[in-house]
Structure formats: structure tokens, C-alpha cells
């Protein structure tokens, strides 16, 4: 396996919720964990050679979406209250991370595997709460477990 470091694609821009430091920490944590997972089944190499897979990965988004409707919000009055809370930005949100991975023949460049995964991190209290690397670690760890347990046909 020829591993290339994880990147943001498109390039990530800091926001009021996700600072540049947090973006750097998310990329670094994801890169370290993914590289370790990929190196488990096959040895990593530093140069292109026959019978080598080139693995590239990109984080394509780090959003936070409103938490889904809860069972108790189906009652009409609770639904009105929930929609008011969501509109005001006070509804809890799920932190998320989208990761795209491509494995290709290192010599020909022919893609052999393409995967897009959405990982859920911790819940944050509202739409103004900053997202941290610790919020996203559970989602990244789940992606890494999936990578290690993936068995190609």
C-alpha cells in the first residue's frame, strides 16, 4: 500500500464553529488513525511499484445537522415547540464528518475502490456551539474500525 496523507477537499475554511486549529486537529487525527488501520493488513511502501495500491483520502465536509425528530415530538404541541426551538438555533445537533477514500492501481492509476462515508460524532448543544476534534473522534474511530474490518470479495 502506498498511502497519501488525508486532505480536505475542497479546501476547508475555518468558520465561527470550526476553527483552523480544530480543522488541523481533525485532519491530523483522521490521518493518523486511517494510516494505522490501512497498515494493519498490508505493509506500507514509499514508492510506486507493480502490485501496489495507492490509497488517497479526503475529508469533504465537517457539518452539524439538527438532531432528528424525537418520538415525544409527534404530539402536536411538542412538535410546535420543537420547530420553534430548531428555528431559533437552540436544537441539539449531530456533529458529522464526510470521508472519501479511493484505492487505485499505483502504476496505472485505475480506481479499484471508491467509498464515501458519513460518520456521526458527538451531539452538540446548539447551532452556535463550536465543534471540536473530541466531538468528531467517535465518528473517525468508527470509520477506522470499518476500514480494518473491510473484506474485499
Q: What is the per-residue pLDDT for 72?
A: 33
**Beta-carbon neighbour count of residue 12 at 10 Å?**
19
β-bridge partners, 58? 7, 100
Residue range 90-147, pLDDT digits in tens: 446 778 888 888 889 999 999 988 888 888 888 877 777 888 999 999 999 998 888 7
Structural domains of the chain ordered from first start:
2-149 (3.30.160)
- CA-closest candidate to residue 124, choices 98, 85, 92: 92
- How far is it, in rounded angstroms, from Cα 92 to Cα 69? 11
Instruction: For residues 144-153, give the mean pLDDT.
Output: 69
Percent of the chain clearing pLDDT 70 (strictly above): 78
Q: In whole angstroms, what is the distance from residue 44 CA to residue 38 CA?
A: 8
pLDDT greater than 70 at residue 71:
no
> Would you place residue 52 in the very low, low, confident or very high pLDDT band (cuts 50, 70, 90)?
very high
Amino acid at each position: 500500500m502506498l498511502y497519501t496523507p488525508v486532505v480536505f477537499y475542497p479546501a476547508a475554511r475555518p468558520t465561527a464553529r470550526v476553527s483552523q486549529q480544530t480543522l488541523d486537529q481533525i485532519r491530523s487525527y483522521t490521518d493518523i488513525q486511517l494510516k494505522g488501520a490501512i497498515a494493519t493488513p498490508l505493509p506500507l511502501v514509499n514508492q510506486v511499484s507493480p502490485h501496489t495500491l495507492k490509497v488517497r483520502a479526503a475529508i469533504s465536509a465537517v457539518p452539524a445537522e439538527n438532531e432528528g425528530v424525537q418520538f415525544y415530538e409527534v404530539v402536536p404541541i411538542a412538535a410546535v415547540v420543537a420547530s420553534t426551538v430548531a428555528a431559533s438555533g437552540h436544537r441539539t445537533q449531530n456533529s458529522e464528518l464526510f470521508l472519501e477514500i479511493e484505492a487505485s492501481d499505483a502504476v496505472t492509476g485505475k480506481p479499484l475502490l471508491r467509498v464515501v462515508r458519513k460518520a456521526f460524532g458527538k451531539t452538540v448543544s446548539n447551532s452556535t456551539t463550536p465543534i471540536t476534534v473530541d466531538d468528531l473522534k467517535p465518528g473517525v474511530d468508527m470509520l477506522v474500525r470499518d476500514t480494518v474490518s473491510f473484506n474485499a470479495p
